[in-house]
Amino acid sequence: PPEMLRRLKALEREFGRRPGKRWATRVLDLDIALWSGGRWRSRALRIPHPELARRGFVLQPLAAVAPRWRVMGPVTVGHLSQRLARGTPRG
């Protein structure tokens, strides 16, 4: 994950994103929401993404291709997507 994050941040810079403007408007915003290795935590990166359960723009397409992908124990991407659709993202 750290190498992937470095590559994603390099792509963002190529598209004009500059350091220090965390919430500024940008053409490209790349994050790692999940990965097949399970959980990951460091100073710079948390997987699953801490806001995954609240991000329909991530969950809906992910649920379309991998609804049974387990995110947290028995909780799957499909479960999170359904919870968000019902208005109960944290369950």
Query: Does an H or E element contain 70, and which?
Result: strand 70-72
Over range 32-59, report the average pLDDT: 93
What is the C-alpha to C-alpha distance for residues 44 and 36, in angstroms, rounded to an integer? 19
Q: Coil, strand, or helix at residue 76?
A: strand
pTM (2 decimals)?
0.78
Give me the pLDDT at residue 90, please: 61
For every residue of 13-61, DSSP letters joined together read HHTT--TT-TTS--S--------TT--EE-SS-EES-TTGGG-HHHHHH
To 10 degrees, what angle do helices 56-65 and 77-86 make? 140
Q: For residue 84, how far is the Cα from the chain centroid?
A: 15
Give me the pLDDT at residue 21, please: 66
